[in-house]
């Protein structure tokens, strides 16, 4: 774990309950989450969620598809405690996304809802490459990021005054990475949102299948 990642883990651990209060409502993302679920028709499908936080997306997925078998992972023990409380029907474990290929199972879907703003381009390419090896044929990958020019990535202050490093990614670049690794984009959506410091930002969601 590099220093930037360690700072983010510390930040989310310290403010886990504040994050839970602010983001448990996934209403703004439900259209895209519905699309993700519709592209996984198999009953009792295995779903891997990376950087699950307090289990906000997990809760919505299991509400919509109670048959899903969800493994939620995060680097923050505090977030995992909240995720377990919010989703007694799911399994959660401590895991760095860079180590997902150490998991023994293969998945019908991989959910990456709130991770890309903390991954460099190099780390994002590795994530997509690893997802290919972790997905079943026809598997579905959900990616969400804050869209802007990559050169605008840099240090930010959170609403609690903590410093963290935030990466921006562009849709065209992400689509190219997905296509180069054999994915076909089935859904693209942009949502007006706000950064941790209150500045306006565009959330980009891409859903792709193998």
Cβ atoms of residues 73 and 93 within 8 Å: yes
Show the domains of the chain with their CATH numbers. Answer: 3-209 (3.40.50.150)
HSE (side-chain half, CA atoms, 13 Å) at 35 = 16
Average pLDDT of the chain is: 90
Structure tokens at 114: 């709130």
Confidence class for position 142, pLDDT limits 50, 70, 90: very high
pLDDT (0 to 100) of residue 188:
97
Looking at residue 193, its pLDDT comes to: 81
Measure the CA–CA gap between 147 and 77, rounded to whole angstroms.
Answer: 28
What would the mean pLDDT of 93-112 be, rounded to a whole number? 97
Which helix (H) or strand (E) segment holds residue 143: the answer is: strand 135-147
**pLDDT of 194:** 76
* pLDDT in the model for residue 170: 97
| CA separation for the pair 206, 190 (Å, rounded) | 9
Number of Cβ within a 10 Å radius of residue 69: 17
Is the predicted pLDDT of residue 12 greater than 70, yes or no? no
Pairing mode of beta strands 154-157, 163-166: antiparallel
Q: With 70 as the cut, is the pLDDT of residue 196 above it?
A: no
Q: Is the pTM of this model over 0.85?
A: yes
Q: Of the ranges 10-24, 38-52, 68-82, 87-101, which one carries the lowest mean pLDDT score?
A: 10-24
Nearest residue to 79 via CA among 93, 64, 63, 61: 93
Q: 16-29 burial string, b = 16+ CB within 10 Å, else e? A: beebbeebbebeeb
Q: In whole angstroms, what is the distance from residue 93 CA to residue 47 CA?
A: 13
Question: Rounded mean pLDDT of 84-103?
Answer: 96
- The pLDDT of residue 46 is 98
Place of tokens 């969800």: 70
Residue with tokens 């490459």: 129
Residue percentage of the chain with pLDDT more than 70: 88
CA 125, 127, 133, 135 dihedral sign is negative
């Amino acid at each position: 774990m590099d220093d930037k990642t360690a700072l983010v883990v510390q930040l989310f651990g310290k403010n886990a309950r504040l994050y839970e209060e602010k983001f448990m409502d996934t209403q703004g993302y439900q259209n895209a989450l519905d699309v993700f679920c519709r592209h996984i028709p198999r009953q009792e499908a295995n779903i891997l969620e990376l950087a699950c936080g307090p289990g906000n997306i997990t809760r919505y997925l299991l509400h919509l598809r109670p048959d899903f078998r969800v493994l939620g992972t995060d680097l923050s023990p505090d977030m995992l405690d909240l995720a377990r409380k919010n989703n007694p029907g799911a399994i959660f474990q401590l895991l760095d996304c860079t180590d997902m290929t150490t998991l023994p199972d293969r998945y019908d879907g991989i959910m990456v809802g709130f991770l890309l703003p903390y991954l460099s381009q190099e780390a994002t390419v590795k994530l997509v490459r690893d997802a290919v090896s972790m997905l079943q044929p026809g598997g579905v990958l959900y990616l969400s990021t804050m869209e802007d020019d990559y050169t605008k990535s840099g240090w930010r202050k959170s609403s609690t005054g903590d410093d963290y490093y935030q990466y921006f990614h562009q849709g065209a670049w992400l689509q190219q990475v997905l296509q180069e690794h054999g994915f076909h984009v089935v859904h693209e959506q942009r949502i007006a949102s706000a950064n941790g410091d209150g500045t306006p930002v565009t959330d980009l969601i891409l859903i792709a299948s193998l």
